[in-house]
Structure 1
C-alpha cells in the first residue's frame, strides 16, 4: 500500500522553509507518515526513509540546489540553510542522503563547469535524480594532493583507473564528480575533476564495492567503486585540466559553510526533546526542568545554538558579499560550529540520563540525532584539517588586516538586507591576508550606547576579544615559518582557535547591533548577544562557563516561550509543526 503524502507546497512561496515545515507536519504525531516513528523505523533497518524521499520529490528539493539561470531556486545560501534545517531537524539521513550530497557535487559544476555540464547536471537534479561526488580516498584522507585515482589520456579521451571507497549515493546517482589524477607529476596542477555520466560507461569497466557500515547516518547509502580502463570522452573534464584542486577548494568555501550550518536543526530537536522530557518528570513536587543546574545547562545550550547560527549566518552572507574572504570564514565555521554542536548534544544527553540511548519511546529520536551529528566534525573535512588550512594564513592576516583596515559592510549583518546572487566565478583560493570581519568588532563596540547589564557584558567580552586580536597581531607577525605547517606545535594551533573566537564574537556583536529594527524583537535584545559571547571559550581547551544569573534566566525564559509556542529555538524564529504534549 502506497503511503499517502501531503500535497506539494507552492514552489514560489515567500518562505519556502515554512512550506517545508508544513509538508512534513508534526514529527511526534504517531499517525504522521513523515514523523519520527517512521523515521526511526527506517533507521533501525539502515534504510533511507522512503516516504521522506517521496515528500522531498514532491517539494522539488533538488531545485534548491540549482541556480536560477538553469531553472532552479538557488539564489540565497541563507535561505537554503533554513530550508535544510527543517529537514535535518527530523532526519539527518534525508538531509545528507537525499539533499546535500547532490549539492556538494553540483557546486563544483556551477563553479567550474561549462554551460553544457551545467545544463546536464541541472537537468538531472530538476528531474529528481541524484549526483554524487568522490573526493577522498581512505589511504590519503584529507590529503587530496595524494589522490591516486587516475583519469589519464586514452585512445579516445580518458581512461579511468583506481578506486574510491566511500561515496554517498553512489549506486543511486546518475552521475559522479570524480576527483582524479590527470598528470603523473607531483604538484597542485596534477588533478582534475571529471563528470562521469554513468549511462556512458561500458559494461565491465566499473564495479561497485560494498558499503562500509556506520554507527550514525545509517540510512545514507555509502559505497565504493573501482574502475578498470574505463573510457570516457575528453569533454568529461570539468573546467581546465589540472585545476581540480583549485575548483574543490573554491567549492568547499560554499559547502563547508552551509552544511555545518544546517546541522543546527539537529540541536534544535535535541534541545526540544530534552526539554519535553524534563518538563514531564516530576521531582519533589516540581518538574525536573525547575532544578537550577538543569536550567543552567538548558540555557547554556540555547545560547550555544544562537552562537552557532549567528556565526554561520554571517559566513553564509559573506559568500555573497565578500567572496574573496570566504576561504577563511568557511574553515572557521567548520572548525568552530561543529565542535559546539557536538558538545551541546553531549551535555543534553547528561540531562536525559538513561533515556538518551533508548531506541523506543518518546525520546528515541535523541539517540539517532546524537549518532548522526558526529559527522559534523569529520564529514567532508575534519576539524583538524580546517586548522591546518587556517594556520599558514595567520602571519599574512596579522600584517595586512588585523592592525588596520576597513570594517565589513553593514549588509553582511542586516538580515533584512537583499543579497546579490551567489558569485561562483568570484571565489578565490586564497584571501591574500585580507579579511574585514575581525576589524568590525572594535568600531561596533564603540558604537554601543547604554550601560545595562547585557550591554556591559557585550562590552566586557568584546573588549577581551579586541585585546586578543591585538595580541595575535604581534604573535602571528613574528611566527617562524616552521610553525606554519602541519608539524606546528599545539601552541601555534591554539592561535587559530583564538582568532576564530574573534570572528565569532564580531559576528554576534554586529548581528545584534545591525538588526535593531528587525521585525523579531528578540534580535534587537542585547541579551542573546551577551549570552552567546559568554559561551566563548577564550582559553583553548577550557569549557564554556555557566551564564551569569540574569542572562541565564532570560535565555531560559525565551526557551520556554518558544517551546510552548512551537517556534524554533535558533536566531531566526520560525513557526514549527510540532504539537505540545498533553498536560498530565
Structure 2
C-alpha cells in the first residue's frame, strides 16, 4: 500500500501554527526564540503553541488515545520544532518522548494508560537515567529502589536530567536488586503529586553552553517509599527495556536534528545572496557554492539514512540494535561537520547574537549535544563493534535485495512492535546486504560516475567483510585496539551509502523529481568516499551546480532542504 502524501498531515498543521520564523512580527519566530535563549529560559510562547497543537499526543500510541503510529512521521513533525528551536524540541517534547518509549516497551496496560493520560493532559515526563559517576554506563547505576515489603525505598541521586524539576512525573532507572548482573535494575515510574513534600530534593541547575532553554538539573531521594507496583514491567527488566527503547530514540532524535542543519543552511544561503564581494554576490563565488552544495548533499544523505533507519524499526525490528547506533554515530558527526563548514562561510556573522543571522550561533551551540546527548558516539561504536563479525558472516557475504518499503517514501508500514525489538541483531543486516544488488539494478544509461561510485562501495564492502569475519572475539570489547573502532567508521559509511543508493533506486517513479536525479546521489557518495578526517571529496562542478540550482529553487519556493522536500512556512521573513 502507498500513501498519497509522504509527509504526515500533522507536519503541515504544525508548520502553519508556528508561522514564518524569520518574520520579526511573529511571536513564535526567531526574535522571540533568541530573547528566551539570552535569558536562559524555556521559550514559553512556543510551549503554549505546542500545548494548543497537542504535541504530546504524537508520543502516545493510538491504542491509548494518541497519534503515535510511525517513527518516520513523528520525526518529520518534530523537524518543524527543531528547525526553529532545538531547546524547545528537547525541553518540551523529546524528553517526554524518550521517557514514554520505555513505558510502551515494558509497562502493563494500566501503567501505559496512566502515562498516556499524563501526556495527553500536556504534562511532562523526565527520564532520569544518568549519574555523573557513571556517565553512559547505566548498568553501573547506584540509585536504589530496593524492595521493602510491598514498597520500594528510593535512595540516591540522578544528575544532568532534562526537565527534572519541571516534569510532573519521572521514569527512573534504579537498582532494585543487590546482586551483580543485568537483572539487578528496573525502571520505576514516579508521579511527583503522590510524594510527600520532603521525599526529594532538587540539585542546582547545570548551566550549559547550548540548549540554554532546557533545564538540566538533578534530584536526590532519601528514604522515599513507593508502591512496588510502580516498577515498569517485570523487576530486573530495566536494562533490557532501555536497550530496546534506545533503538527508537537513538534513531529518532538525531533524525529530528537534521532540521537544525536545514535552518543553518537556509540562514547561510540568505546571507551570501545579499552579501556583495568583488562586484558580485558571495553566493556567486565558486568555493562558497561548493560549500553550500556540500552541506545540501550532507543533509540529503543524513535524512536518507535516517529514513531507512526509522522505517527499519517497523520492518526489521530484529536488526535495529545495529542500525540505531549506526544512525546516531553517523548522522551526528556529519551534521556537526556541516554546520562548522557553514560557520566558516558566514565568518564573523556566525557568532553574532543580534541581527538577521543571529539564529545561527544559537543553532550551532544547540546542535552540539547530538554527538553526546542521550548516548555518546563512543557508546554507539562500542555497541556496534562486537556485532561486526557475525554481520560479515551471516549477511554481508550473502547479497540479497531489500524490501523496497525500507526506502520508498510513500510506502505504508506495519505497526511498530516494541516487543519485537531485540537486544542483539544476531548477524542480520538486510540494508548493507542489498548494496551489491544495486549495481545490477542501476538503470540503463546511468551516469558512469554514479556506476563507478556504487562499484567503489561494493568493493569496500567486500574488503570489510573479509576483515570483520576474521576478527577475534578478544579484540571486540571496549578495550579494543583503535584500529578496530575504525572498522565501525567504515561500516557506518558503507551502510549510509547503501541507504542513499537504495533511496534513489526505489523512488524513481515517486512524486519528487529531484529524488530521481543522480546529482544528489553522486554528491553524497563522493562525500562518503573521503577518508575519515580528510577534506570531503567534492563532487564534479556540473553536479554541484545542479545541487545549487535545486537549493535556490527550494529556498525561493519555501520548500524544505531535506529529503521530504515539503512546504515550509518561511517566505514572509525573506529580505
Q: TM-score, normalised by structure 2?
A: 0.97
Of stretches 126-135 and 464-473 in structure 1, the one that deviates more from structure 2 is: 464-473
Among residues 186, 189, 196, which one is paired with 1:202 in the alignment?
196
1:406 Cα offset (Å): 3.4
Contact residue 25 and residue 32 of structure 1 kept, 8 A: yes
SS at match of 2:225: strand
- Which residue is equivalent to 1:502? 494
1:582 Cα offset (Å): 6.2
- Which residue is equivalent to 1:318? 312
Gaps of 5+ in 1: 1-12
Q: Within 2, Cα distance between the matches of 1:243 and 1:269?
A: 40
Q: Within 2, Cα distance between the matches of 1:517 and 1:73?
A: 29
SS at match of 1:238: coil
- Which residue is equivalent to 2:3? none
Q: Within 2, Cα distance between the matches of 1:579 and 1:416?
A: 27
Contact residue 20 and residue 572 of structure 2 kept, 8 A: no
Between Structure 1 and Structure 2, how many residues are aligned? 569
1:540 Cα offset (Å): 3.0
SS at match of 2:500: helix
Matches within 5 A, 1:291-440: 291-404=285-398, 406-440=400-434
Residues 149-182 of structure 1 deviation map (CA, whole Å, 9 limit, x = unaligned): 0010124310001000111111111210000111
- Which residue is equivalent to 2:173? 179
Quick check: 1:286 aligned with 2:272? no
Residues 289-313 of structure 1 deviation map (CA, whole Å, 9 limit, x = unaligned): 1000010000000000000000000
Matches within 5 A, 1:206-217: 206-217=200-211
Q: Within 2, Cα distance between the matches of 1:154 and 1:543?
A: 59
- Which residue is equivalent to 1:8? none
- Which residue is equivalent to 1:225? 219
Quick check: 1:514 aligned with 2:506? yes
Q: Within 2, Cα distance between the matches of 1:170 and 1:284?
A: 53
RMSD: 1.3
Q: Within 2, Cα distance between the matches of 1:473 and 1:184?
A: 42
- Which residue is equivalent to 1:3? none
Q: Within 2, Cα distance between the matches of 1:110 and 1:346?
A: 37
Quick check: 1:52 aligned with 2:34? no
Task: Evaluate the alpha carbon distance shift between residue 56 and residue 581 of structure 1 in structure 2; reply closer, same or farther with a 3 A threshold.
Answer: closer
Residues 104-154 of structure 1 deviation map (CA, whole Å, 9 limit, x = unaligned): 000000010000110011001100001110111111011111110001012
1:456 Cα offset (Å): 2.2
Among residues 542, 548, 569, which one is paired with 2:540 in the alignment?
548
Quick check: 1:565 aligned with 2:562? no
Residues 369-425 of structure 1 deviation map (CA, whole Å, 9 limit, x = unaligned): 000000000000000110000000011111111101533211111111111111111
- Which residue is equivalent to 1:527? 519
Task: Evaluate the alpha carbon distance shift between residue 176 and residue 581 of structure 1 in structure 2; reply closer, same or farther with a 3 A threshold.
Answer: closer
- Which residue is equivalent to 1:261? 255
Contact residue 445 and residue 509 of structure 1 kept, 8 A: no
Q: Within 2, Cα distance between the matches of 1:389 and 1:292?
A: 41
Matches within 5 A, 1:99-248: 99-248=93-242
- Which residue is equivalent to 1:472? 464
Gaps of 5+ in 2: 1-6
Contact residue 8 and residue 73 of structure 2 kept, 8 A: no
Contact residue 169 and residue 221 of structure 1 kept, 8 A: yes
Contact residue 458 and residue 509 of structure 1 kept, 8 A: no
SS at match of 1:437: helix
- Which residue is equivalent to 1:4? none
Q: Within 2, Cα distance between the matches of 1:237 and 1:582?
A: 52
Contact residue 523 and residue 538 of structure 2 kept, 8 A: no
Contact residue 71 and residue 311 of structure 2 kept, 8 A: yes
SS at match of 2:338: helix
1:537 Cα offset (Å): 4.1
SS at match of 1:540: coil
Q: Within 1, Cα distance between the matches of 2:431 and 2:126?
A: 34
1:28 Cα offset (Å): 1.2
Among residues 477, 491, 495, which one is paired with 2:483 in the alignment?
491
SS at match of 1:421: coil
Quick check: 1:446 aligned with 2:446? no
1:14 Cα offset (Å): 5.5
Q: Within 2, Cα distance between the matches of 1:264 and 1:256?
A: 13
Q: Within 2, Cα distance between the matches of 1:544 and 1:74?
A: 38
Q: Within 2, Cα distance between the matches of 1:179 and 1:533?
A: 41
